[in-house]
Amino acid sequence: MSQPSEGSFFQLDKIPPSPHHRHQRSLESVLDFKHIPLTAPERTRAEKIFHRCLEASAPITDGPLPFNGVKLLKFSLQYNPSEQGIDNFLNYTLRNYDEDPNPDPGLPFSQVLDHLDQTLSTWSSPPPEWVASRTAELADLLMNSFFLPLKGQASRTPQPTPSLSPVGGGLHTPTRTRVSNLRLTCLHRDAHKCVITGYFDRATAQGRNPLVNDSGQPLTPDDVLVTEVAHIIPHALGEAAFWDVMKLFHPGMEPLLNGVEIDRPFNAMTLTPDLHQAFGKLEWYLEEDSTEPHAYFFKDSPGVHLPANAMMRPKNDRERVKFISADNTDLPEPGLLRLHAACAMILGMSGAGDYIEKLLRDEESIRSGRCGKELERGDLSLAAMVEWRLAFWAATSRGNLSPTTAGTLVINTQ
């Protein structure tokens, strides 16, 4: 496999499916369903059946996936951030636990539950292999179409130099200009400081004499750091499957992120570069304070322990954050922060976040040319897939993608 060079066309063969997934059904093709709210008894019954399916899969799915698919599905339901998302998640996943590779999508959900109840009672020990196959397929879909692009792109918000005043911002405004406008708008809204640590923006400070914050209070050079605009839900997620899978978690948020809406202030905040990077990697999240609107507690993600210093923590003992708009600009949308927090919990509790981190490290090795021997041995085939997918998402968002024959994509990286 040849390595891509900067600013050139390159080709990466699609990674063939593993033997376990060679006959995998196209789950993406049936994601488009209308939301039908479940009654409380239906939801309780569906959750019990879902967990029985996972329990039946656990003895078999320890090997086929390089991450624990049972745990990923279990915590995807447990930390699902919306009631509508829970209903969609149960409706979709349970319809796919069927020996028939093409189940009837129009079957009433109550009949789906009746059929599964009857089917579960007939399973022997060990249960039939197709049960684990369905679990692996579902987990694979969530990983490759949602969690991998989310974590892979989230810390890559471009940082163009902001204009002195916002210009444009509509449908025909270039992405770079929109993000520049977004950075300036968020800086004004967030009083020119990181919303977590309170460090004042260095570029703004350089133009102030005397050095004071927006409230007129004096600052010292130690109070100043570089800041960046950080998307809550990231930019450059071009695949439609990502937005489809998001319906299984928080469907009400999708309209807020369509097209240029993703570059609106309700989907962004001002952070220092280190916090931006960690936020994108889902290493920390904001947990809502139920006692006050737009107030949150800063939380390390499961298995993550960020440094306990002023550069990575809120400047108060409770590690509490209160969003305030200095100019009536929209504050970060609670639903988007809720979705980000859910993803951080799901990947942390399931261990799938560590798997993605390894893939992204391997992908970086490919890009930097540090992996010649590993590529020759075929040790980085999954990383090659990640590089191909990340390039696909980025190229799709830029409009530089052209499909070719023979299962290969040609991507212009210029």
pLDDT for 242 equals 83
pLDDT for 395 equals 46
In the chain, where the domains are located: 26-153
| Alpha helices in 158-253, H assignment, sequence order | 175-189, 202-205, 240-246
In this prediction, residue 236 has a pLDDT band, given cuts at 50, 70 and 90, of low
- For the chain, what is the mean pLDDT? 77
pLDDT for 369 equals 62
pLDDT for 230 equals 93
Q: Distance (Å, rounded) from C-alpha 13 to C-alpha 116?
A: 39
Using a pLDDT cut of 70, give the percent of the chain over it: 70
Residue 272 has pLDDT above 90, yes or no: yes
Q: Name every residue whose Cβ is closer than 8 Å to that of residue 408 and which is 6 or more positions away in sequence.
A: 11, 12, 13, 14
pLDDT in tens, 185-214: 999 999 999 999 999 999 999 999 999 999
DSSP string, 179-193: HHHHHHHHHHHTTTB
pLDDT in tens, 49-75: 999 999 988 865 545 567 899 999 999
Over residues 70-87, the mean pLDDT reads 96
pLDDT for 368 equals 64
Instruction: Tell me the CA distances in angstroms from 297 to 284, 291, 323, 342, one per residue in order.
Output: 10, 11, 11, 14
Using a pLDDT cut of 90, give the percent of the chain over it: 45
Over residues 275-303, the mean pLDDT reads 95
Q: Distance (Å, rounded) from C-alpha 83 to C-alpha 124?
A: 34
Residue 376 has pLDDT above 80, yes or no: no
pLDDT: is 313 or 199 the higher one?
A: 199
For residue 200, give the 3-state DSSP assignment. Answer: strand
In single-letter form, the type of residue at position 118 comes to Q
Over residues 19-38, the mean pLDDT reads 52
Least reliable range by pLDDT among 22-36, 179-193, 290-304, 399-413 = 399-413
This prediction's pTM: 0.80
pLDDT in tens, 140-165: 889 988 998 888 776 555 555 444 34
